[in-house]
Structure 1
Amino acid sequence: MTAETERVAAKPPRNQRVAAPQRPVARVLPMLGLAHLDRPFDYLVDAKTDADAQPGVRVRVRFAGRLVDGYLLERLDRSEHEGALSWLDRVVSPEPVLTPELAALCRAVADRYAGTMADVLRLAIPPRHARVEKEAASHDVARPIAEPAAAGWDVYDSGRSFIEQAVAGGHPHACWQALPGEDVAARLAELAASVAASGRGVVIVVPDQRDLDRLEAACEPLLGDACVTLAAGLGPTARYRRWLSALRGRARVVIGTRSAVFAPVVDLGLVVVFDDGDDSLDEPRSPYPHPREVAVLRAHGSGAALLIGGHSRTTDAQALVESSWAFDVVAPRAAVREAMPRVDGLSDEDRRVAGDPMARTARIPAIAFDAARRALAADQAVLFSVPRRGYLPSVACARCRAHARCRACNGPLQMSERGDLACRWCGRPENRFVCPVCAGTAVRALMIGDRRTAEELGRAFRGVPIVTSSGDKIVDEVPAGPRVVIATPGAAPRAPGGYGAAVLLDTWAQLDREDLRAAEEAVRAWMAVATLVRPRAEGGRVVVVADAAALPVQALIRWDPVGFATAELRQRLELKFPPAVTMASVDGPPAAVSAFLDLLTMPPEAETLGPVPLPAGVRRPAGLDESGPVDRMLLRTPRSAGRSLAEALRNAQALRNARHDDTAGIRVQVDPPTIG
């Protein structure tokens, strides 16, 4: 009998419980979500639950007089706590869902993002479904996986080397620059099958369901039932069933969206995040971890290989390369030139635009119309990319040109085809617009959406089918033949053989945004469109209605995303902005932000910027009055002190929670996607 058991047995045990004969102490993490309680607590395990109370299982414990959920982290012989211990109430399920590797990852993510481990676990582990757990686990051995030839990787410098190292059990870290028009799904499927054939697990994260559907179709012939998909659209039951399949070792490859980066594959050998700059990967739930950073932490902690890929290059990925933590997997320039379409840029001063009446009325210069007509004459589809969906998604006062804003939430007002004004954020109708600056009552268009553009092009190309793809009406693929497609970024359908031409409209709306990453995101969006166009040798052409001398446009013309990311990163180093530094934002009512900063003990290297009003386009913290002011304070520190800043933020949150000073909600976010 251990000392802990003797201490409890000194008086009659409550409910006549008898402690487990061996390792009677369970270290449990209650799912409380409060920073000052983000640590394990010790409980006694009785003999009846001894067999089921194993590390990783879900449990129920009594905390502060109420029953709460938790995870059993480990069993111990004795506790360091000097007082009496409460009993473990019950084991919810004997399924060990929290593996040691997943527990270490969730702790690292919580520390990196100044959050709580409980919040990260809610992202990492789906809700339990008892019926699914009780289903007999299939012990049939999945069909053997043959290692594919993966010849498509040979065109990339270091591509074959990366695969060989990953298959051999190494841990290479690389950033892959996919060629224009590359069959990304096929390349990723080959990579996953190569590593899975060696007996190790693979996790691949893509931005959205369309990407996931293509990847699933490419993986099925190579991997069969050894590959499962994880996405929110599956529904809770199917999602949990597939998650358990990975946990139990039946599925060696997991592909999915955002939260699939936490998938509990056995013997992880490779983690892939493709198109890490897509805003679909921005996690909206606390502590707001980005899958790219989670993948970096996971690869480092588990010794797995890591691949971050895309048609463009984010400054965050480039920072990994320049720090020598990752290496480049890129194609030679000759291969890039052969695969890319012809790209033309222009400017308002260009005589092709200045003397063109079409450019002034339809925003489309003659050079773009010429490219479109040539493609349609060759029985090919033409793509017009516009930044926003809707009719007139952004309007301003006709007198003073001030942006028209919603009186309830300060969101942008938009106009429908019928001329009605409504908020683009909260949907509140604006029946009588009055400009708060000059008292004007009329509005003018600032931006033209896809539906208005479709009207204009329908008149310009009479008799040609018009297709729009945006919002919740996304078209995945258009049939062969001449047609005009109008799509917003990320919603462009594929065309058989590729588009004959693409025109990028209203590029100023992407470049002129008051956001640190505006140029980077514009280049990513443009390259995503251009990669859908046929190569130059087949007549493919892209027209960018923007100044050809601008650096983002030059990056597209030369198809040099790595060079552009390098230049952007150098500017960030000079200006001390992410990813050259670690930056955190504190958003909330002015008084709450000020009170929080009073509790914060920042590292010596840190500095504050602000406070300033919350940038346009950023949602308010949850639970705030929509009419009240919201401030943002930015905290900046060198990357070397990033963990110290996160720890300081977490300690301030703990003090705030302990004092119950949380009536006015604030949001603390490390490396926020929008800085303004």
Structure 2
Amino acid sequence: MPLPHLDRPFDYLVPETLDADARPGVRVKVRFAGQLVDGWLLERVDESDHPKLAYLEKVVSPVPVLSPEVARLARAVADRYAGSLADVLRLAVPPRHARAEKSVTAADVPAEAAGPVPEAGAAPTVAPTAAARADGAARADGGTRADGADPLPATGVPIDPRGWRDYPAGPALLRALADGRTPRAVWSALPGEDWADRYADAVAATVAGGRGAVVVVADGRDLDRLDAALTAVLGPDRHACLAAAAGPARRYRAFLAARRGEVPVVIGTRAAMFAPVERLGLVAVWDDGDDLHAEPRAPYPHARDVLLTRARLTGAAALVGGYARTAEAQLLVETGWAREVVADRATVRARMPAMAPTGDDPQLARDPGAASARLPSLAWTTARDALRADLPVLVQVPRRGYLPSVACADCRAPARCPHCAGPLGLPSAQGTPACRWCGRVAAAYACPECGGRRLRASVTGARRTAEELGRAFPGVPVRTSGREEVLATVPGGAGLVIATPGAEPVAEGGYGAVLLLDSWALLTRADLRAGEEALRRWLAGAALARPGAAGGRVVVVADGALAPVQALLRWDAAWFAARELAERRELGFPPAVRMASVTGAADAVADLLAGARLPDDAEILGPVPADEGRERMLVRVPRARAAALADALHAAAGQRSARKAADPVRLQVDPLSLF
């Protein structure tokens, strides 16, 4: 049950009529507190400690869709995030689709004994699986697997590392995967790197070693690229794509294909982080700093952390990659849990485009208006030169829309809705100011500060930028890529592409120029990860440019002395991640510490924290205002006390749910945003 005080297994009797179908991993119906509720059959045992038991009401489907490995992982994730097993299983196994299940019989799906799932707060016991023991035996005697699967390749099997040769440790990583070993790597991709091909190489090496893989990406565009790369390397029908956007039937068919062992590889968005894969040998995540990897539903797990937990429980290899590097990935390197895979500086310099900021002293001396201009002369001339050379130009704009934020043209006070105080915006050049919160139109807006009625842009969106650049470069085709329409590719000739971060299309042959505008909108956000996120977005855009030797240039409208800009100019994400992690250690912020957020009504938050047996070294910060009249408290402990913090908060939430406390409280361990 999802209620914290009922987060434990319950015993039921299996009637003789359901004996054949009631296997570990199947969906069932049971009576609980007089109501018929959904459940999972976790284990069959001969006896129970409880003298009086109710009977199992129904086996919904005889297909055991919950694998033992995923059941253990779900319990570990629930404990990690102070959540309930029921909530994690809701994320781990997609809803049943009867039509998609018709072609599957129970005999098609292995039903290994799951073993007891530890109760909430208990430390899970981890032992090698039968497959892992067979793998070890096979390696010891030279090749044949005890479970009858394809034999493992001999040590030193030739592997074609292709683009991994650009990284000194790259070929060794592939050999280790092919040999059945468990390397753990943090990979910093080079500019212009086809990351999907590199991940396909790593997956192919894992499959060659007789094991399976799970790869998680942030969105559908990345999934399509990885899907094409894997098809080219492994061939058709050798992997499954698992994404919530695929639709219920297609998603469930892909899930069943993986559960039946028909495919050794599953790729997908965060829905794939729990995918059941036989003989799991590799878990990988691309661009782990993207906020799409954070699950918005309780208990709010992050795909990177789920995959790393899975690697620890199963003994699988792990690969965390991206153009940028998060502080969490840097912590893996500095603690020795993972090795970094990076190129040498000579290779980086040869592959990167020419970089230039607009806010350094020499540039300001030549163009005094560069500090305040949205498109300084350096950016304008760089775009003009690329277009004259018949090369495409990418313009990255942090905001979508036309004028998503406006201000009084006379006194510069932010324009706010007279009804709800929300920000006003302009949908188009001929549009009427409207509230972005309540949607009310403010046609007769008058500034409450000075009475002025004229509005100016305080934040310029992608569509307005496209309009301005279209006038600046007449006759040049202008394309936009954002929420309304995301372009995958654009032709290689002269043209302007205005895109929001994450929606940048790939240009044939690479962009001649990349302009990174409105950097202040990223760097001045009230967010712990503002600098890290700005660098991540800049590197993703700059990676699409041609190398400097081929005419590729990147201009960032920012002060060159800022640390994120310095990291961009040198293409040194590892340096910035190490600096960021050191600062967070000094300030006591994640991932250097474990932090939990407790949000709700003031009395409810105080009630939960008063009933929690927090570790002695726990520090409580707050309260601070949250949304809708609620408040938030933060609880901080050293990383060594992380499990104790999660247990204490889960137990306190269980006490409140047991006495049916009226006001809900939201618990988030290591929330993505602290402010």
Taking the TM superposition and a 5 Å limit, the aligned residue runs for 1:262-661 are: 262-347=274-359, 352=364, 355=367, 363-397=374-408, 401-405=412-416, 412-417=423-428, 418-425=430-437, 427-430=439-442, 433=445, 443-614=455-626, 620=627, 628-661=628-661
Q: Work out which of the residue numbers 46, 50, 53 in structure 2 matches 1:85.
A: 53
Instruction: Confirm or deny: 8 A CA contact 1:608 1:633 kept in the other structure.
Output: yes
Residues paired across the two proteins, number: 629
**Shift in CA distance, 38/434, structure 1 to aligned 2, threshold 3 Å:** farther
Name the SS of the counterpart of 2:506 in structure 1.
Answer: coil
Aligned partner of 1:617 in structure 2 is none
- Structure 2: distance between partners of 1:656 and 1:222: 53
Does residue 189 (structure 1) correspond to residue 200 (structure 2)? The answer is yes
CA distance in 2, matches of 1:438, 1:296: 56
1:309-356 deviation digits (Å, cap 9, x = unpaired):
000100010001101011101111111111110110121866547846
User: Structure 1 stretch 510-519 or stretch 647-656: which is displaced more?
Assistant: 647-656
How many Å separate the matches in 2 of 1:399 and 1:226? 63
Q: Secondary structure at the match of 1:273?
A: strand
8 A contact 1:142–1:225 mirrored in 2? no
SS in 2 for 1:542: strand
1:244-273 per-position Cα deviation (integer Å, ceiling 9, x unaligned):
000010110111001201100111000000
Residue in 2 aligned with 1:158?
169
Cα offset for 1:216? Answer: 0.6
CA separation in 2, counterparts of 1:244 and 1:219?
A: 20
- 1:667 paired with 2:635, answer no
Measured in 1, the distance between the counterparts of 2:486 and 2:62 equals: 43
Assess if the C-alpha contact under 8 Å between 1:148 and 1:193 holds in 2: no
Q: CA deviation at 1:131?
A: 2.4
Alignment of 1:60-79 (within 5 A): 60-79=29-48
Whole-angstrom CA distance in 1 between matches of 2:439 and 2:275:
37
Shift of 1:280: 1.5
- Partner SS, residue 221 of structure 2: helix
Q: CA deviation at 1:439?
A: 7.9
Whichever residue aligns with residue 158 of structure 1, its letter is A
Alpha-carbon distance in 2 for matches of 1:115, 1:396: 43
Aligned-residue offset at 1:287: 0.7
Counterpart code for 2:32:
F
Distance 2:376 2:477 in 1: 21
Structure 1, residues 544-587: CA drift from partner, whole Å, max 9, x if none? Answer: 11000111100000110000000000000000001111111122
Which residue in 1 is equivalent to 2:97? Answer: 129
Change (3 A) 1:319 1:427: farther
Spell out the pairing of 1:198-277 with structure 2 (5 A cutoff): 198-223=209-234, 224-277=236-289
Q: Which residue, 170, 175, 179 being the options, matches 1:168?
A: 179
Take 1:247 and 1:573, find their aligned partners in 2: how far apart are those partners?
A: 42
117 and 434 in structure 1: CA distance in 2 versus 1, 3 angstrom threshold: farther
Structure 1-normalised TM-score?
0.89
**Displacement, 1:97?**
1.1
**Matched residue SS, 1:562:** helix
Structure 1 pair 86/282, CA: closer, same or farther in 2 (3 Å)? same
Structure 1 residue runs without a partner (length 5+) = 1-31, 615-619, 621-627
Q: Which amino acid aligns with 2:103?
A: E
Q: Secondary structure at the match of 2:539?
A: helix
Give the direction of change, closer, same or farther, for the CA distance of 1:520–1:46 in structure 2 (3 Å limit). same
Instruction: Find the partner of 1:107 among 68, 75, 90.
Output: 75
Q: Residues 270 and 351 (structure 1 numbering): CA distance in 2 closer, same or farther, change over 3 Å?
A: closer
In the alignment, the residues of structure 2 paired with residue 437 and residue 148 of structure 1 have an alpha-carbon distance, to the nearest angstrom, of 69
Once residues 419 and 40 of structure 2 are traced to their aligned partners in structure 1, the CA distance between those partners, rounded to angstroms, is: 42
- Cα deviation for residue 511 of structure 1 reads 0.2
* Deviates most, 266-275 or 390-399: 390-399
Are residues 369 and 167 of structure 1, via their aligned partners in 2, closer, same or farther at CA, if it must alter by over 3 Å?
same
Work out whether 1:57 is the aligned partner of 2:26: yes
Q: Say which SS state the counterpart of residue 115 (structure 1) adopts.
A: coil
| Contact 2:388/2:494, CA 8 A, preserved across alignment | yes
1:473-500 Cα offsets, whole Å, 9 max, x none, are: 1111111210011111111111101000
Of 240-249 and 415-424, the range deviating more from structure 2? 415-424
User: Tell me, which stretches of 5 or more residues in structure 2 are unaligned?
Assistant: 109-147
Deviation at 1:428, TM superposition (A): 4.5
2:439 and 2:431 map into 1 onto residues whose CA distance is 15
Give, as a single letter, the amino acid of the residue that structure 2 aligns with 1:262.
Answer: F
1:10 counterpart residue number: none
Q: What's the offset of the Cα at 1:458? A: 1.1
- What do the CA deviations read for 1:176-231 (whole angstroms, capped 9, x no partner)? 11111011111111111111122211101111100110111111122221111111
SS at match of 1:135: coil
Q: How far apart are 1:92 and its partner, in Å? A: 0.9
Q: Would the aligned equivalents of 1:421 and 1:429 in 2 still touch at CA under 8 Å?
A: yes
Deviation at 1:426, TM superposition (A): 5.3
Change in CA separation of 1:62 and 1:253 when aligned onto 2, cut-off 3 Å: same
Q: Does the 8 Å contact 1:353/1:359 carry over to 2?
A: no
Higher deviation after alignment, 422-431 or 184-193: 422-431
What CA distance in whole angstroms lies between the structure 2 residues aligned with 1:126 and 1:95? 14
- Do structure 1's residue 34 and structure 2's residue 3 form an aligned pair? yes
User: Cα RMSD (Å) of the superposition?
Assistant: 2.4
SS at match of 2:380: helix
Distance of 2:420 and 2:66 partners within structure 1: 41
1:513-537: CA deviation from partner (whole Å, max 9, x where unpaired)? 0100000000000000000000011
| One-letter amino acid matched to 2:397 | V
**Bigger Cα displacement from structure 2, 152-161 vs 61-70:** 152-161
Residue 299 to residue 451, structure 1, CA distance change in 2 (3 Å)? same
**Cα distance in structure 2, aligned partners of 1:651 and 1:399:** 56
TM-score (norm 2): 0.89
The amino acid across from 1:524 in the alignment is R
1:63-105 C-alpha deviation (Å, 9 max, x unpaired) = 0000000001101111112x31000111111111111110110
